[in-house]
C-alpha cells in the first residue's frame, strides 16, 4: 500500500496533559494511539509514532518526525477537558476544513455514540500548522466529565475509537476496510449477557454443614464468589433479630435475647427477666430489687443501692 501514517500520542512524560476522574490524558492518549497504530498496520499501512512510551516529546520534534519521514497523514490523539464538568463529547480539529476531518468526525460519532462537537479549524495549534501533510487532532472525549471519563477507562471504547479512525483512513485513501464492525450497542448487550452468565455460574444453592454449640447442623444457603452465604432464617435461629430498612436499604442484626432465668435467693428459686448479650445474662436492677436483694433509688443521674443483710 505504501501510505505512511504518523500517529501522535499527545503529551507524555513530565507533561501529563489534562487530569481528572482518576486518569491522565497522557496515559489514555498513548493507549488509544498504540491501538490505532497497530490496527493501521493490520490494514496494510506503514506507521510511525511520535512516542510509543511515556516520555516527553516537544511539539517541534513531533512535527519534525512527521515531516522528515514524509508521512502522508498526521493524526494526533488527545483527550479534552473543560472547567465545566457538563462539557462532553468528541471533536476533530484541523488547520482548515477538509474532507478527511469530516469523515473521521462522522465515523467517530457513529461508533462511539458520544456527543457530536463537530469539526473545528485551529490554525494556532503547533502540530497542525507545523506539519507539511494533511493533519488532524482528535479530541476523543472529556476527561473532566464523569460519564466521558468512565468511557475512556474502557478498552472496548478505545478499540472503537481506533476502528472508527482506521475506517476513515481507509476511505480517505480509497482502500477496503477490514475491521470489527460490532456496534457499541451490541457490545453493551454482550456485556450484560456475560455478567448474567457469570452470576448464574457463581451463585449455587446448596446445603451447608455448620457446628452450632458443638452440634452438627445442616442449613440451606448459597455458594457465591468462593463464599458460603446463609439465609436470614438461619441467622434468626442463632438468636439474632433480623430487620431491613427499605428506605436506607440496610439489614440490621440484633443479638439481644430476652429470656427468664432462674436465681436462687436464700435457697429459694426465683425468676427474673434477663438479656443475653455476648454470652452473658444481664438482669435489670429493678428486677433484682423486687427479689429483695437490695433497695434501689435513682436521683439526678445517679443510682443508689442499699444492700440488705440476709438472715
pLDDT tens digits along 71-101? 999 999 999 999 999 999 999 999 999 999 9
Rounded to 5 degrees, φ, ψ at 142 are: -95, 120
Alpha carbon distances (Å) from 255 to 3, 44, 205: 74, 70, 26
Rounded to 5 degrees, φ, ψ at 294 are: -165, 170
DSSP 193-205: HHHHHHHHHH-EE
Q: Is the pLDDT of residue 309 over 70?
A: no
Q: How confident is the model at residue 267 (pLDDT cuts 50, 70, 90)?
A: confident
Mean pLDDT in residue range 129-150: 98
| pTM attached to this predicted model | 0.61
pLDDT per residue as tens digits for the range 169-225: 999 999 999 876 554 545 555 566 666 555 544 456 666 666 555 566 676 666 665
Domains of the chain by residue range? 4-180, 203-254, 257-307
Domain 4-180 has CATH 3.40.630.40: yes
pLDDT at 30: 98
CB-based contact 103:168 (threshold 8 Å)? yes
CB-based contact 146:88 (threshold 8 Å)? no
CA distance 159 to 161: 5
pLDDT at 233: 66
Q: How confident is the model at residue 278 (pLDDT cuts 50, 70, 90)?
A: low
CA distance 105 to 115: 11
CA distance 288 to 24: 68
Amino acid at each position: 500500500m505504501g501510505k505512511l501514517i504518523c500517529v501522535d500520542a499527545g503529551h507524555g512524560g513530565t507533561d501529563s496533559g489534562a487530569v481528572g476522574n482518576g486518569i491522565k490524558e497522557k496515559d489514555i492518549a498513548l493507549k488509544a494511539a498504540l491501538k490505532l497504530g497497530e490496527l493501521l498496520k493490520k490494514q496494510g499501512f506503514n506507521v510511525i509514532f511520535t512516542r510509543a512510551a511515556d516520555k516527553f516529546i516537544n511539539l517541534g520534534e513531533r512535527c519534525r518526525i512527521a515531516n522528515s519521514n514524509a508521512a502522508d497523514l498526521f493524526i494526533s490523539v488527545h483527550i479534552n477537558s473543560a472547567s465545566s464538568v457538563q462539557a462532553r463529547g468528541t471533536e476533530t480539529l484541523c488547520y482548515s476544513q477538509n474532507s478527511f476531518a469530516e469523515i473521521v468526525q462522522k465515523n467517530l460519532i457513529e461508533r462511539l455514540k458520544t456527543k457530536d462537537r463537530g469539526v473545528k479549524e485551529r490554525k494556532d495549534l503547533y502540530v497542525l500548522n507545523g506539519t507539511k501533510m494533511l493533519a488532524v487532532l482528535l479530541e476523543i472525549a472529556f476527561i473532566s466529565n464523569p460519564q466521558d471519563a468512565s468511557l475512556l477507562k474502557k478498552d472496548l471504547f478505545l478499540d472503537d475509537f481506533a476502528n472508527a479512525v482506521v475506517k476513515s483512513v481507509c476511505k480517505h485513501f480509497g482502500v477496503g476496510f477490514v475491521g470489527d464492525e460490532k456496534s457499541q450497542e451490541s457490545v453493551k448487550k454482550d456485556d450484560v449477557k456475560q455478567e448474567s452468565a457469570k452470576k448464574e455460574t457463581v451463585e449455587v444453592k446448596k446445603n451447608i454443614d455448620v457446628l452450632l454449640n458443638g452440634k452438627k447442623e445442616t442449613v440451606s444457603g448459597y455458594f457465591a464468589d468462593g463464599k458460603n452465604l446463609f439465609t436470614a432464617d438461619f441467622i434468626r435461629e442463632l438468636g439474632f433479630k433480623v430487620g431491613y430498612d427499605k428506605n436506607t436499604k440496610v439489614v440490621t442484626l440484633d443479638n439481644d435475647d430476652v429470656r427468664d432465668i432462674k436465681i436462687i435467693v436464700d435457697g429459694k428459686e426465683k425468676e427474673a427477666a434477663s438479656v443475653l448479650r455476648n454470652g452473658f445474662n444481664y438482669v435489670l436492677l429493678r428486677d433484682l430489687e423486687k427479689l429483695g436483694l437490695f433497695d434501689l433509688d435513682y436521683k439526678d443521674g445517679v443510682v443508689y443501692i442499699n444492700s440488705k443483710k440476709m438472715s
